[in-house]
Chains A and B, each alone.
Chain A
Amino acid sequence: MMTLLKYEIYRRWRWLVLRYVALIIIGIILLNRVASPAYQNEFIGESIGKFIFASLVIFIIVIVEGINMLKEDLFEECGYLTFTIPKKGRTVLASKLVLLFLQLSFWTMISIGFGSILFSKLPYPEIVQIETQINFYLFPTVLFILTAFFNFVLMVHFSLTLTKTLLVNKRYSSLLSTGIFFFLIYFIEKVYYGPFLNQLNHVSIEIGSRSNINLLSGGYPAVFLNIILTAIFFTATAYLLENKINI
């Protein structure tokens, strides 16, 4: 897997460096701005907004690239190379997901790093209070978001791979993979998360604290459900890549 990961990085290292360097430069420029005494709190708020926007743009690029990493191999000519190397489907898929995880880690470190410094420039005591309130409940939430992120990417990967199993031509493939994706969302919502959410609602009504119950309120059980789903999609996609796709 490490060899494939090396080539995945090698394949797109310029873009990888460019996007993170750009985010760091934007962060430094904004930090310099807020360090100047001439700027008022409004400017600090504006700088935070700009940084969040830049960070979100990079995040979207990371997601799109995470999807395209497999899409290119499935639908472009380079698939003839990727899928004739003697590697298992899970190895091919894992190399792409590990790169995605590394990208996400870089993005998180840079975003949280600059974000927290920028926030700390705000003089409001509430901000300090929010920062000190980061406690145990943060971890299941972060884990939930992380596993949900990989679930989303793997669902798209699975939809694309299933499309390539059912269709050879590119024609209608976007339509079919989009259809499969939305069907999966609907199905998982109804059959998989639905009963779990009902249970959460039921418990919260009993203890009299029902307010905006969603999967994020699910704590570690919700994370566990996500992990199972991730494992299912990873296994299914890897199986199709190795045994069923038509390039």
Chain B
Amino acid sequence: MEQILKATQLSKYFYQKKALNKVDINIEKGNIYGILGPNGGGKSTFLKIAAGLLKPSQGEITIDNKKPGVYTKSIISYLPETNYLYKWMKIKDALNFFKDLYADFDTERARESLKFMELEEEEKVTSLSKGMMGRLKLTLALSRKAKLYLLDEPLNGIDPISREKIITSILDSYSEKASILICSHLIYYIEKLLDYVFFLSEGRIILSGNAEELRNKRGMSIDKLFQEVF
């Protein structure tokens, strides 16, 4: 199958701390991948490097056979963990911003998603609760027709109702032409989404494979396996 992301011996150091240590990850088109691990394990660092926000200290990463840059940013839809939207924005401004700056942004899809997520376009982003903000960020990220979606902790701090909506939304967005890479430590909720998993701890991949095969081989869910490994 065609590869969309390839990381080879990827390392990132912050002073003496190794956030990523010689990580090899291959992402193929049309699958949903999970990078799972405890906080501080290097998951977000990996996504930030793929999104072009951090530069690797060693090793190489390519997306669609290109190093992170303007082209890769045009085909990657990145959802960071932080509230990255400008504070002056209303939801409709965020929609317009994405429509103006991403050629692949589907406004109709975004409007439908806003309805599903029970968000009003006139609301200011600063007035949104954490759950609403999470739903808005996901709406914006998934309304692009990107080749690769990078979702950093999409369920963190989200209430159970919002979690269900987010998971449904991710499933609805699945397409054979695109790949989704989700980083999370809330395995229980996202397990059913994942085709492949990487367990990342202290910057190293300690276990990886097809989710179904791992479940059968170990005789337990990925969530239980995660608890056993960590």
Contact = CB atoms under 8 A, between A and B. Distances in A.
A7 B97 contact: yes
A169 B229 CA distance: 31
B82 A80 contact: yes
A84 B79 CA distance: 10
Interface residues of A, number: 26
Nearest to B87: A78
Interface stretch (A85-93, A129-137, A199-207): A85-93
B80 interface: yes
B71 A77 contact: no
Interface stretch (B30-38, B48-56, B159-167, B213-221): B48-56
A168 B54 contact: yes
Given A168-B14, A247-B48, A84 B53 contact: yes
B73 A85 contact: yes
Contacts, number: 65
A78 B54 contact: no
Contacts of A81: 84-86, 97
Contact of A77 (B76, B82, B102): B82
B78 interface: yes
B86 A78 contact: yes
B3 interface: no
A224 interface: no
Most buried by A among B73, B84, B87: B84
Interface residues of B, number: 27
B101 A87 contact: yes
Contact of B51 (A7, A84, A169): A84
Given A78-B85, A80-B80, A86 B74 contact: yes
Interface string B74-96: 10101010111111100001000
Given A11-B86, A80-B84, A87 B53 contact: no
B54 A83 contact: no
A86 B104 CA distance: 11
28 contacts: A4-B101, A7-B100, A11-B86, A12-B88, A77-B82, A77-B83, A77-B84, A78-B86, A78-B87, A80-B78, A80-B82, A81-B84, A81-B85, A81-B97, A83-B53, A84-B73, A84-B76, A85-B102, A86-B71, A86-B73, A87-B70, A88-B70, A168-B14, A168-B54, A242-B70, A244-B55, A245-B55, A246-B53
Interface of A: 3-4, 6-7, 10-12, 77-81, 83-88, 168-169, 242-247
